[in-house]
Amino acid sequence: MKVKTLKACTNCRYLATEEEFKTKDGKWLCPVCGSTEKPTREWQGYLIIVDYTKSDIAKKMGIEHNGRYALKVRGES
C-alpha cells in the first residue's frame, strides 16, 4: 500500500484510506475518534503504533488505538 494515498484525521491524526473514513452512506467518520470532519491529505511523516499499551510515544500523543498516525497535519501549529 502506498502510504501517501492515505488520509489523516484532523482530530486524532489517524491515517487510513478514504474508504476507511467513509460510512456506508458516504459521510466522513473517523473509525478511531469518531470525528465527522473530512480527513486531509495534507500531512507529513507518520508512525505506526503496533501496541499502544507499550508505546511511550502513543502515551505522549494520547493514542489509544493501534494503527498508523500522521506526525503533522495541516492546520496544526
Q: Can you tell me which residue has the cell 489523516?
A: 8
Q: Which is nearer to Zn ion, 31 or 55 (CB)?
A: 31
Distance in angstroms (rounded) separating the CA atoms of residues 73 and 13: 7
Write down the least CB distance from residue 8 to Zn ion, Å.
8
Write down the least CB distance from residue 56 to Zn ion, Å.
21
Neighbouring residues of 59: CB distance < 8 A, sequence distance ≥ 6 = 52
Where does this chain bind Zn ion (CB under 5 A)?
Answer: 9, 11-12, 14, 30, 32-33, 35
Write down the least CB distance from residue 21 to Zn ion, Å.
9
